[in-house]
Amino acid sequence: MLFLNLLKMICLSFLVGSAVLFGANKEYKIYGTESGQILYEIEGEGQLTQETNLTISGTARLRFKEWGAVALAEEKGTVMAVGAIKDKQTFRSLIKQEKDTAYYANYKTEKVLERKSSSKFIAHGESLTKGLKQTGTLHVNGWECEVWEGPGVKKCLYKGIPLLLEIQLYGMTYTKKASDISFDINLSEDQCVMPDFSVEEFGLIRGIGMTKNKKKPKEVIEVFRDILKGNFIAGQIDINDTNQTHHKAKIEFINRLGQSIYKDQKVLLPKLLFDLEKSRECIHQAETPKEANECIRGMRDTKKEMGVKMPFIYFWNDEEKDMYLEQLDNEISNLKSRMSCISFAKNITELSACMK
Q: Rg of the Cα trace of the chain?
A: 26
Instruction: Evaluate whether 208 touches 248 at the Cβ level (below 8 Å).
Output: no
pLDDT tens-digit readout, 206-221: 444 444 445 688 999 9
- The phi and psi torsions of 352 (rounded to 5 degrees) equal -65, -40
162: left (phi over 0), alpha (psi -120 to 50) or beta: beta
Q: Please give the average per-residue pLDDT across 208-236, as a whole number.
A: 72
The answer to whether 152 and 239 are in contact (CB under 8 A) is yes
Which residues touch 325 (CB under 8 Å, ≥6 apart)?
Answer: 280, 283, 284
Residues 99-111: what's their mean pLDDT? Answer: 90
Q: Domain ranges in the chain? A: 31-257, 263-354
pLDDT level of residue 241 (50, 70, 90 thresholds): low
3-class state of residue 263 by DSSP: helix
Q: What is the pLDDT of residue 50?
A: 92
**Cα→Cα distances 312→134, 137, 289, 309, Å:** 55, 53, 9, 10
Q: Which residues contact 101 (CB under 8 A, 6 or more apart)?
A: 114, 115, 116, 117
Looking at residue 116, its pLDDT comes to 87
Q: Which SS3 state, helix, strand or coil, does residue 346 take?
A: coil
Q: Which helix (H) or strand (E) holds 318?
A: helix 318-336
31-257 under CATH 1.10.520, yes or no: no
Q: How far apart are CA 274 and CA 257, in angstroms?
A: 28
